[in-house]
Chains A and B, each alone.
Chain A
Amino acid sequence: MHFPILSVIVFTPVSAALLILLYKPDQKKAVRITALVTAGLVLLLSTIVYFSYDKAVAGYQFVEKYSWMPFLGISLHFGVDGLSAPLLLLTGIVMLTGVMISWGIEDRPREFFTFLFFLASGVLGVFASLDLFMLFFFYEIAVFPMYLLISIWGWVKTREYAAMKLTLYLFIGSVIALVGALAMYWQSGLHTFDMLVLERANFPATFQNVWFPFVFVGFAVLGGLFPFHNWSPDGHVAAPTAVSMFHAGVLMKLGAFAALRVGIMLLPEGAKTWQWVIMGLALVNIVYGALIASVQTDFKYVIGFSSVSHMGLVMLGFATLTREGLTGAGVQMFSHGVMTALFFAAVGMVYDRAHTRDIPKLGGMVGPLPMVAVGVIIASLVSMGMPGFSGFIAEFPIFMGVWKTQWVVAVVAAVSIVITASYVLLVVRRVFFGKMPAELEGHIRPINTFDKISLVLLCTIMVGLGLFPSLMVPWIQTGVQHVLSLLGGA
């Protein structure tokens, strides 16, 4: 029996959360240091998992299985493949940067980090779970703390509304998917929630066609799929910075990942039937999200809608059901996670200083905040899919896959790149260049060391991945190979 590294990763944040609860409410410094150490540990362990994943062997690795409820075939079953390993790493990265950026939270930091780490454990648990029941278990744990994080520490104007909206949307999605999952359980007659077994259950085609939309869309709600994306920009905007980073950076991937793992991988025939519907919806996501983003005047809403648009690309990649499309979608999940985490971190830094996110009221930020400006420019280039950055590695294969499936879709989706380029560049110019409004002059403090470390870390990853795609693509390809084998050859 090898060292149970995945269990350690999944349960470290929640253990830390319980430890933090034992501190007194005014031991704020101790709380922050514990949080930082925990996040660092999770990142370290997930990096170890990522780099020691054996691509030559492929398949599920670091597998652990503990029988949990034998009568119903529920087990605590962890394992990573080439698709989930990068997402674990992503969670580690976002966790560490998120904690560093939340250093300055003064209102009940003890509760803040407790809820944040519960969420983190849930997220990690979903990425690592190979048991359908446990996947739901962790999924709900990941969704719920959002409500408190947004409603307590969020933006005063919209937080109550946004938090409730987000929670109800996601909860509705997940319980609908749950009904689908229970139907799969009984239909298979195998008396197990083990996804490795259910993958080979060969559900009848009618069953798959009936239940696929429930399961896929149920999860895709969290992935921001049109027309169920409405919670997402409101949620992003209302959330405090670290939570927006988690939310757009990791949580939306959770939806997409679960839609792939449970929807497409367990019900492949259903996926083939509904392929065109998903593709159509994803296309709307991409173009509509980009168009809405381009007319926003609130910096954070721009990023919020751009997330909807970019998650559309992930869904589009899934919908192609081709090697290229799925590989691109896999990379896009990671790349977008890092990119959007950086965007939200930068928005937070600007907002904390200027106390406004209204783009016309901002300007000339490059002077006092040069590193933030560089970070945002790099993230913008990533979001446009510029070669040399991680976005290109992600988007190019997606478009190849889409072209192979249906070239018209590829052409329409490509329009979104132009729209994206126009709005991100416009935002960069208005916020960071030009003349700073007089009332902000002299009020913009420089960012602190933790902020700088976060920005540098996130930028390095995006550029590094852009220059050396071999650091991620081979991993994704082994995962995609498995998905394709479930889809029947190809």
Chain B
Amino acid sequence: MSSIRSILPEILLLALAIIVLILDPFLGEARRRLVLGWVTAGGLLAIFAVCLLAGRPGTPLFVYGGMLRFDWLAFLFELFFLFSAAISALFFMDIERVNRRAEAYLLLLAATLGMSLMAASADLIMLYLAIETTSIPLYLLGGFLTQDEKSTESGFKYLLFGALTTTVMLYGFSLIYGFTGTTSLYALNLHFNQFDALSVGVFFLVLAGLAFKVSLFPFQFWAPDVYEGAPTPVAGFLSTASKAAGFVVILRLFVVAFPAISANWTTVLAVLAALTMTVGNLIALTQKNIKRLLAYSSIAHAGYAMIGVVAFSQLGASSTIFYLIAYILTNLAAFGIVAAFGRVAGSDEISAYRGLSRRNSTLALGMLVSFLSLAGMPPFGGFVAKVLVFSAAIQNGYIWLAVVGVLNSIVGLYYYLNVLKVVYLYRMEGEDEEHHPVVLSRPYVISLTLLMIGIVLVGVLFAPWFNLAQRAALNLF
């Protein structure tokens, strides 16, 4: 029974995907968008609720011959993925040439399924399969707008970079198996318990694949091009759920499988985190396109989240998870707003946002909330999240890293403010904003309202969320 319960989200996701497939041929052109969108989003939210009520893990449990580990870490991240997929499905509903295609929703569900397995994998083979199950649908989604050159470029670039780094990681996996004779993550710490050339080499090979997933320096090059070309909700999904999936694997792998190496190599990881933040933020300063700006900012955020991993402590892991909660909510909101506005304005240039506060003051306020949360301002989620990761760094003696993080958040504030300045201060050409209202469709109103409430709740009542993160982190140490 518990082995069924442990893969409850995966089973239900598969069932939902089949329902979407079956529905597809029976739908007329007029109702496709509504039925497909609401069934996917509603189904995902229902799965979220069912798992929350019936699928909660007890003591950590290995299931299916040690392939998966059913614990709070996996469960919490599965909830993240379900939630971001549900929100993304709502965002899909108003993107032309995506919203009427059952394939888009199906690929979204398949990617979510893969991510859920990534979060729970306790075995290298399972992990690799899960990563591929996640990546292939995402490559397709990135290039989904086949008539659009940028979108095809985006999908292709993502595929090339992804294939390359995954291959390197697979090479690392095979070396691990060759030297140890086991593929179970939880058995590896017996072998890699000392710091030698071999462990370090393997560690870096594996790191390459994961660094690509979370866009860690120096594997961040793909992100801006892919985000810019992909349909906006796909970019939002890539930058939140996919990144979180990368982080859960990083946490599990480094803490469980390579404890000895990680303890010695945290300095290298710390340098990578610092470089990731700095590179992301500095390049973001010069961006003119909002999707590219958000792409660079999401690179920087991977760096902040990495600080918690570097701290290599229970507080560090909890703060990384908390950071991801705040970041998923915020970044989904940011991309959702960009998608909603881009649909009306037909442009993703920052200059197109002139006069937004007069065209739709609520949407402008939503932008204010999400950008301030990204910048780390209270009373929004980003503030507590940043304080927690910096605090974890200082606890473990990485004061310099906290200082780099703090300096970076100042740079971040500067470019977020510059966008808000355009939204609030500048006016449209002709100053006739009242004739150019920005109307939001119902799926966007619902999803953005949910996200705004979430951002404020995480920022103000942070204890319950932190307890969740802590419970997940406890499964690691």
By a beta-carbon cutoff of 8 Å, the part of chain A in contact with chain B is 21, 25, 68-72, 108, 110-111, 133, 136-138, 140-141, 144, 147-148, 151-152, 160, 164, 167-168, 171-172, 175-176, 178-179, 182-183, 185-186
Q: A71-B466, A111-B361, A183-B399 are in contact. Are A175 and B421 (CB under 8 A)?
A: no
Known: A68-B462, A148-B424, A182-B387. 6 other contacts (CB 8 A): A69-B462, A175-B406, A179-B399, A182-B390, A182-B394, A186-B394
CB <8 Å contact, A179 and B402 = yes
Residue B273 interfacial (CB < 8 Å):
no
CB <8 Å contact, A141 and B379 = yes
Contacts of A151 in B (CB 8 A): 421, 424-425
- State the CA gap A123–B387 with chains docked (Å): 20
Q: What 1/0 mask marks residues of chain B from 376 to 406 whose CB sits below 8 Å from any chain A CB?
A: 0111000100010011001100010011001
Contacts of B361 in A (CB 8 A): 25, 108, 110-111
> Lowest 4 CB-CB distances: which A-B pairs, in order?
A175-B406, A69-B463, A137-B378, A182-B394
CB <8 Å contact, B410 and A168 = yes
Taking the nearest CB of chain B, how far is it from the CB of A466, in angstroms? Answer: 38
CB <8 Å contact, B410 and A179 = no
CB <8 Å contact, A168 and B466 = no
Cβ-neighbour of A167 out of B390, B402, B413, B462 (below 8 A): B413
Cβ-neighbour of B424 out of A72, A137, A138, A152 (below 8 A): A152
- State the CA gap A175–B383 with chains docked (Å): 11
CB <8 Å contact, B402 and A168 = no
Cβ-neighbour of A164 out of B372, B402, B414, B424 (below 8 A): B414
Q: What 1/0 mask marks residues of chain B from 337 to 377 whose CB sits below 8 Å from any chain A CB?
A: 00000000000000000000100010001001000100001
- State the CA gap A141–B376 with chains docked (Å): 11
| B interface bracket (residues with beta carbon within 8 Å of A) | 20 to 34
A159 nearest CB neighbor, chain B only: B425
Contacts of A160 in B (CB 8 A): 421, 425
Contacts of B357 in A (CB 8 A): 108, 111
Contacts of A164 in B (CB 8 A): 414, 417
Cβ-neighbour of A183 out of B378, B394, B409, B466 (below 8 A): B394
- State the CA gap A141–B421 with chains docked (Å): 18
- State the CA gap A179–B378 with chains docked (Å): 16
- State the CA gap A141–B357 with chains docked (Å): 21
A143 nearest CB neighbor, chain B only: B377
CB <8 Å contact, B410 and A182 = no
Cβ-neighbour of B409 out of A69, A137, A175, A186 (below 8 A): A175
Interface of B is mostly: helix
Residue B420 interfacial (CB < 8 Å):
yes
CB <8 Å contact, B383 and A172 = no
Cβ-neighbour of A186 out of B372, B378, B395, B467 (below 8 A): B395
Residue B220 interfacial (CB < 8 Å):
no
Taking the nearest CB of chain B, how far is it from the CB of A23, in angstroms? Answer: 11
CB <8 Å contact, B417 and A167 = yes
A to B CB contacts below 8 Å, 28 in the list: A25-B361, A68-B463, A69-B462, A72-B391, A108-B361, A111-B357, A133-B387, A136-B378, A136-B387, A137-B378, A137-B383, A144-B372, A148-B368, A148-B420, A151-B421, A151-B425, A168-B410, A168-B414, A172-B410, A175-B406, A178-B387, A179-B402, A179-B406, A182-B394, A183-B394, A186-B391, A186-B394, A186-B395
CB <8 Å contact, B402 and A140 = no
B426 nearest CB neighbor, chain A only: A160
Residue B470 interfacial (CB < 8 Å):
yes
Contacts of A179 in B (CB 8 A): 390, 394, 399, 402-403, 406
CB <8 Å contact, B390 and A178 = yes
CB <8 Å contact, B406 and A178 = yes
- State the CA gap A447–B361 with chains docked (Å): 33
Taking the nearest CB of chain B, how far is it from the CB of A71, in angstroms? Answer: 7
CB <8 Å contact, B365 and A21 = yes
- State the CA gap A168–B470 with chains docked (Å): 33
- State the CA gap A144–B470 with chains docked (Å): 30
Taking the nearest CB of chain A, how far is it from the CB of B315, in angstroms? Answer: 8
Cβ-neighbour of A175 out of B378, B410, B417 (below 8 A): B410
Taking the nearest CB of chain B, how far is it from the CB of A75, in angstroms? Answer: 10
A147 nearest CB neighbor, chain B only: B417
Interface positions, chain B 426-477, Cβ under 8 Å from A, are 462-463, 466-467, 470
- State the CA gap A183–B400 with chains docked (Å): 12
- State the CA gap A441–B80 with chains docked (Å): 68
Contacts of A185 in B (CB 8 A): 391
B372 nearest CB neighbor, chain A only: A144
- State the CA gap A175–B377 with chains docked (Å): 11
- State the CA gap A68–B410 with chains docked (Å): 27
B459 nearest CB neighbor, chain A only: A137
Taking the nearest CB of chain B, how far is it from the CB of A237, in angstroms? Answer: 18
Taking the nearest CB of chain A, how far is it from the CB of B462, in angstroms? Answer: 6
Contacts of B414 in A (CB 8 A): 164, 168
Taking the nearest CB of chain B, how far is it from the CB of A238, in angstroms? Answer: 12
Q: A70-B463, A147-B417, A168-B414 are in contact. Are A140 and B383 (CB under 8 A)?
A: yes
- State the CA gap A151–B394 with chains docked (Å): 35
Q: What 1/0 mask marks residues of chain B from 145 to 160 whose CB sits below 8 Å from any chain A CB?
A: 0000000000000000
- State the CA gap A175–B387 with chains docked (Å): 10
Contacts of A147 in B (CB 8 A): 417
- State the CA gap A179–B361 with chains docked (Å): 36
CB <8 Å contact, A171 and B425 = no
- State the CA gap A179–B387 with chains docked (Å): 9
Contacts of B379 in A (CB 8 A): 137, 141
Residue from B357, B372, B421 with most neighbouring chain A CB atoms (10 Å):
B421
- State the CA gap A108–B434 with chains docked (Å): 14
- State the CA gap A43–B370 with chains docked (Å): 32
Residue from A72, A141, A167, A185 with most neighbouring chain B CB atoms (10 Å):
A72
A154 nearest CB neighbor, chain B only: B425
- State the CA gap A480–B411 with chains docked (Å): 39
CB <8 Å contact, A171 and B394 = no
- State the CA gap A147–B463 with chains docked (Å): 29
B418 nearest CB neighbor, chain A only: A164
Cβ-neighbour of A144 out of B377, B391, B399 (below 8 A): B377
A141 nearest CB neighbor, chain B only: B378
- State the CA gap A124–B462 with chains docked (Å): 21
- State the CA gap A151–B420 with chains docked (Å): 10
- State the CA gap A70–B365 with chains docked (Å): 32
A67 nearest CB neighbor, chain B only: B463
Cβ-neighbour of A71 out of B368, B417, B420, B467 (below 8 A): B467
Taking the nearest CB of chain A, how far is it from the CB of B401, in angstroms? Answer: 11
Contacts of B402 in A (CB 8 A): 179, 182
Residue from A68, A140, A168 with most neighbouring chain B CB atoms (10 Å):
A140
Taking the nearest CB of chain B, how far is it from the CB of A279, in angstroms? Answer: 28
- State the CA gap A68–B466 with chains docked (Å): 11
- State the CA gap A383–B302 with chains docked (Å): 51
- State the CA gap A71–B357 with chains docked (Å): 40
- State the CA gap A183–B421 with chains docked (Å): 34
Residue from A167, A182, A185 with most neighbouring chain B CB atoms (10 Å):
A182
Interface positions, chain B 104-132, Cβ under 8 Å from A, are none
Contacts of A133 in B (CB 8 A): 387
Contacts of A176 in B (CB 8 A): 406
Contacts of A110 in B (CB 8 A): 361
Cβ-neighbour of A69 out of B377, B390, B466 (below 8 A): B466
Taking the nearest CB of chain A, how far is it from the CB of B76, in angstroms? Answer: 16
- State the CA gap A183–B409 with chains docked (Å): 18
Contacts of B403 in A (CB 8 A): 179
Taking the nearest CB of chain A, how far is it from the CB of B466, in angstroms? Answer: 6
Contacts of B387 in A (CB 8 A): 133, 136, 178, 182
Q: A70-B463, A182-B390, A186-B394 are in contact. Are A171 and B378 (CB under 8 A)?
A: no
Contacts of A183 in B (CB 8 A): 394, 399
Contacts of A171 in B (CB 8 A): 410, 413
Contacts of A172 in B (CB 8 A): 410
- State the CA gap A68–B391 with chains docked (Å): 17
Contacts of A108 in B (CB 8 A): 357, 361
Taking the nearest CB of chain A, how far is it from the CB of B411, in angstroms? Answer: 10
Contacts of B466 in A (CB 8 A): 69, 71-72
